[in-house]
Structure 1
Amino acid sequence: MDEMRPNSGAHLGLASLFPQGLQAIYGECRRIYPDQPNPLQVTAIVKYWLGGPDPLDYISMYRNVGCPALDVQEHWHYVSLGLSDLYGDNRVHEFTGQDGPSGFGFELTFRLKREAGETAPPTWPAELMQGLARYVFQSENTFCSGDHISWHSPLDNSESRIQHMLLTEDPQMQPVQTPFGLVSFLQIVGVCTEELQAAQQWNGQGILDLLRGVHCSTPWSCESMWYVHPKQERVDKGIDTDGSNLSGVSAKCAWDDLSRPPEDEDDSRSICIGSQPRRLSDKDTEQIREALRKGLEINSKSILPPISSQRHSQDRPVQSVGHLQSKQNSRSRKDSLESESSAAIVPHELVRTRQLESVHLKFNHESGTLLPMCLRGASICSTWAVATGNAYAILLTEEFVEQMLGDLQDPSIHEESKLPKEYSWPDKKLKISVLPDTVFDSPLQ
């Protein structure tokens, strides 16, 4: 990427030279910043539609003077251009008319406090926005207000505690109707681990409302509200009143077949020694298959997979990436699972069952801490499924759920320094390990 200033030809009456989608977004920016017709921009040197790696053609950077009356300090305002359809000629996005969304239907924004004496905006937020855009283009999952993004790394690659993100409507920018569809603007809000976990246990919008009440000048400049203004009591009340709107969580997970004889006495497969395998009956197999089918009918949109920060994301090998039923309000343009026939929406690999006599499931830290919440919702379905390349399902009884909850509700599981944690139920031929994320970074794990 490189820095540049956008050609102001549209402002000089040469609008015909400007793509209409681009014009529409520039027009909304000029409404807010009439004195900045030529903001600094970060631009993709080789455009995505020419084979470049960066999906966002441009990221405009404006100087916002803030609003002292609202305790909003001066800051830099970043606006992406490229998640929506800028051109209308199918070079990036399929043109579907004016009535629907333009491209993915949104652009990203970001606000960063302007430091004293700072004459130019830092460019790391542009790198962050490109990383999120790459995820959207590769997965075709779109974002919504209230979504959370687990990043697990300081957003600015410093030692900051702000290592995750929430998304909300940009407070200044209004949705724009373009000739190629509607574009809304979602603002990235940096948050700490405490806010992320609270959003997962409750909901992102509730945490955003609490953040607004802490009198932060800009979302990035907020410290954890648990340290500045303790809010745990309000979060607990919200969880008790509203429950969680988390339909699931993305997970790094792997599994071992414990049915094979252990290679040595320390092998985790030793759990199955001395016990007779329990065969699944035809009735059990059909029950698992039907439960998976119903679950896919309810959650037919694709699930948000883990998003890795650029510090760790370059083609990192992982044995398998799976999903506990997942992600708040996630939408997708993919229609491979959509059909009027319930049988048609079940992928072939989920209908084909494989029998394992014993299994060892391994989860990364974040997904492991959320296992109790997943189990509390297991009564909705007679099975609990983890997709790890093949469908794996455990028939859960209320008694077994209560037993697992009692074991997994371990306060120390929230402290990564105390990992790994192992939980075993030999009579069910099941073992679960919660492991540090670094375990999944190694191709040997």
Structure 2
Amino acid sequence: MELEEYKEKYSEDDAPGWLSIDSVVEKLYPKQEPKHWAATPHYMVGGTDPIDGISFYEIESDGELYYHFVTYGFSNLYYDEESVGADFSKFGFELTFRLKAFDLDKEGPNWVFHLLQNIARYVFDSGKWFEPYHFMPANGPIRTETDTAITGLAFCLDPELGEINTPHGNVQFLQMYGITDQEYKDLQEKGEDAEELIKNHSKDNPLLITDLNRKS
């Protein structure tokens, strides 16, 4: 998109990046209004949570419930003429996460918001970003104080959302996938990225839904 087209289409009150994310997610879930968590106050005005918003959708598949989370804030969300036509929108990604419903989350999976914000703090503070097949430890269970073998995360392109081109540049939807402590150690010892592990898991779990009860 050229600058003049951008200025004609949007005003300073618009959020072109946010609208771009909405457009692709709404196509995936056209009949569902997501639950949404918003940072208050926003990071740019002194808030402590770098991600401005996190939406999640409830999906039933084969009789089982899972949640699909989408972040708003790793990419450039708001009107910004200087970013028009850039190769990548800010960090160039947004995070997603598919989580199988867990019996201890009776009040909802609110812990995921904290997990995503903690990852965002690392990215914003360090200036480092994630790409497909990166992996990281969570320094304990990803759901704290929980008896789960899932203690790390691997990243891949979201199998349904993929990547998009926004007025501020390209954005990949990077999905987090929960991995066990042993899987993380194996990746470290082999000195490899997580591509093979992700491909193996996707054979039986094509949407890469994280299950906190998975042992191996």
Q: In the alignment, which residue of structure 2 is the partner of 1:46?
A: 41
Residues 66 and 209, structure 2, Cα contact 8 Å, conserved in 1 = no
Shift of 1:137: 0.5
Shift of 1:213: 3.2
Counting only pairs closer than 5 Å after superposition, residues 316-335 of structure 1 correspond to structure 2 as: none
Q: Does 1:30 align with 2:35?
A: no
Q: In the alignment, which residue of structure 1 is the partner of 2:123?
A: 136
Provide, for residues 140-181 of structure 1, a one-character-per-residue CA deviation record: whole Å limited to 9, x for no partner. Answer: 111001001112211111121111111111111131211111
Residues 106 and 183, structure 1, Cα contact 8 Å, conserved in 2 = yes
Residues 150 and 196, structure 1, Cα contact 8 Å, conserved in 2 = yes
Provide, for residues 277-296 of structure 1, a one-character-per-residue CA deviation record: whole Å limited to 9, x for no partner. Answer: xxxxxxxxxxxxxxxxxxxx
Alignment partner of 1:79 out of 70, 81, 102: 70
Identity rate, percent:
30
Question: Whole-Å Cα distance in 2 between the matches of residues 122 and 175 of structure 1?
Answer: 26
Q: In the alignment, which residue of structure 1 is the partner of 2:166?
A: 178
Q: Aligned with 2:150: secondary structure?
A: coil
Question: Whole-Å Cα distance in 1 between the matches of residues 77 and 20 of structure 2?
Answer: 9
Shift of 1:128: 0.5
Q: In the alignment, which residue of structure 2 is the partner of 1:96?
A: 83
Q: In the alignment, which residue of structure 2 is the partner of 1:105?
A: 92
Gaps of 5+ in 2: 1-9
Q: Residue 214 and residue 119 in structure 1: after superposition, are their counterparts in 2 closer, same or farther (change >3 A)?
A: same
Question: Whole-Å Cα distance in 1 between the matches of residues 107 and 89 of structure 2?
Answer: 31
Provide, for residues 202-228 of structure 1, a one-character-per-residue CA deviation record: whole Å limited to 9, x for no partner. Answer: 331111112223548753116233xxx
Which is bigger in relative contact order (C-alpha 8 A, separation at least 6)? 2
Q: In the alignment, which residue of structure 2 is the partner of 1:288?
A: none
Q: In the alignment, which residue of structure 2 is the partner of 1:213?
A: 203
Residues 69 and 98, structure 2, Cα contact 8 Å, conserved in 1 = yes
Gaps of 5+ in 1: 1-14, 226-445
Q: Residue 59 and residue 103 in structure 1: after superposition, are their counterparts in 2 closer, same or farther (change >3 A)?
A: same
The aligned amino acid for 2:134 is D
The aligned amino acid for 1:60 is S
Name the count of aligned residue pairs: 201
The aligned amino acid for 2:196 is G
Residues 76 and 121, structure 1, Cα contact 8 Å, conserved in 2 = no
Question: Whole-Å Cα distance in 2 between the matches of residues 53 and 123 of structure 1?
Answer: 17
Q: Residue 185 and residue 61 in structure 1: after superposition, are their counterparts in 2 closer, same or farther (change >3 A)?
A: same
Alignment partner of 1:159 out of 137, 142, 147: 147
Shift of 1:129: 0.6
The aligned amino acid for 2:157 is E
Provide, for residues 59-96 of structure 1, a one-character-per-residue CA deviation record: whole Å limited to 9, x for no partner. Answer: 00111233x4xxx9431100000000001338xxxx43
The aligned amino acid for 2:26 is R
Question: Whole-Å Cα distance in 2 between the matches of residues 168 and 80 of structure 1?
Answer: 15
Provide, for residues 334-357 of structure 1, a one-character-per-residue CA deviation record: whole Å limited to 9, x for no partner. Answer: xxxxxxxxxxxxxxxxxxxxxxxx
Shift of 1:25: 0.4
Q: Does 1:149 align with 2:140?
A: no
TM-score after normalising by structure 2: 0.84
Q: Aligned with 2:185: secondary structure?
A: helix
Q: Aligned with 2:119: secondary structure?
A: helix
Question: Whole-Å Cα distance in 1 between the matches of residues 165 and 206 of structure 2?
Answer: 31
Q: Does 1:123 align with 2:110?
A: yes
- Bigger Rg, structure 1 or 2: 1
Counting only pairs closer than 5 Å after superposition, residues 420-435 of structure 1 correspond to structure 2 as: none
Shift of 1:198: 2.0
Q: Which has the higher strand share?
A: 2
Question: Whole-Å Cα distance in 1 between the matches of residues 205 and 83 of structure 2?
Answer: 42
- The more displaced of 194-203 and 143-152 is 194-203
Question: Whole-Å Cα distance in 1 between the matches of residues 161 and 46 of structure 2?
Answer: 31
